[in-house]
Structure 1
């Protein structure tokens, strides 16, 4: 069973976020350091509005998919974790909110 972590960056009035750095430096760093310990994939979404057209509560989310809960848990406790978490100030001035859990259902729509 795969394990997913969603890292959400709040959209606050003073939020600064360097999306180019995030996509070109931070996420490749995450893949390089955590790929060998079970990270299967990642994707990033940017929100301009919520479904009603209002300002979104979160600006950016990253979804990380792990081969197992054990792999995800081990990665965030690994020696490489401080490098990844220490890189956050290089692209934003807000602290992310993280949600993690097992995938219990999904469907691909053709």
Structure 2
């Protein structure tokens, strides 16, 4: 399997302190479903949220989004629905998300 045909995984992380505004309930109940609705038709396979077990400065949330392949990821990020996904971030946090693409070793 070539890297182009391998699943594409993107980690979206949010950094802050325990005082940073981050509405977990909104994120799980509204933002992740918006991501799935917006990108599933382009090849999104899953979106999962993770939160640290203990509140401390650093990572306050991580989302793993998995796409069928690189072409699906690129199509989703270029989709007309993507601006609405990105605009929704302001509804649950003031933190800008960091995106990192993971590749299989």
- Please give the range of the TM-score, normalised by the shorter of the 2 chains: 0.7 to 0.9
Q: How does 1:14-93 map to 2 (within 5 A)?
A: 14-49=19-54, 55-93=56-94
Report the count of equivalent residues: 100
Please state whether the residue corresponding to 2:12 is helix, strand or coil: strand
- CA distance in 2 between counterparts of 1:86 and 1:46 reads 22
- CA distance in 2 between counterparts of 1:100 and 1:74 reads 15
Aligned residue among 3, 6, 10 for 2:11: 6
Please state whether the residue corresponding to 2:73 is helix, strand or coil: helix
- CA distance in 1 between counterparts of 2:88 and 2:30 reads 9
Q: Which runs of 5+ in 2 are unaligned?
A: 1-5
Report the aligned-residue RMSD: 1.6
Scaled by the length of structure 2, the TM-score of the pair is 0.87
Residues 18-49 of structure 1 deviation map (CA, whole Å, 9 limit, x = unaligned): 01111111100110110111000111100134
Kept in 1, the 8 Å contact 2:18–2:57? The answer is: no
Residue 14 of structure 1, CA deviation: 4.3
Deviating above 6 A after TM superposition, structure 1's stretches of 4 or more consecutive aligned residues are none
Q: Which runs of 5+ in 1 are unaligned?
A: 106-110
Residue 77 of structure 1, CA deviation: 1.3
Equivalent in the alignment of 1:98: 99
